[in-house]
Amino acid sequence: MVNPAPVSNNFWQSIDYPSQFRSLTAQDYAKLQGFPENFILHPNSSIAKKQLGNAVSMPVVAVIIRSILHCL
């Protein structure tokens, strides 16, 4: 039987490049979701990220609304 711990450790070491990548900020998440630059986020980054994670992407909403209006 193979012990999964060494495989798991090697996996994380192979993808963890802290010197090359940075964590995404709440502002990054907002941009990815399509929120405007002037959108005011919660001052607490963790709360802002949670709110953005629960949000619906603005461009997707726009496409859905256009599709509905086109059918009317």
pTM to 2 decimals? 0.59
Q: Which residues of the chain have pLDDT under 70?
A: 1-20
Given this model, what pLDDT does residue 42 score? 96
Given this model, what pLDDT does residue 18 score? 61
Domains defined for the chain, CATH in brackets: 24-72 (3.90.120.10)
Q: Half-sphere exposure of residue 59, counting CA atoms within 13 Å on the CB side?
A: 6
Given this model, what pLDDT does residue 5 score? 53
**CA angle (28, 34, 63) in 5-degree steps:** 155
Residue 14 is inside which H or E element, if any?
helix 4-15
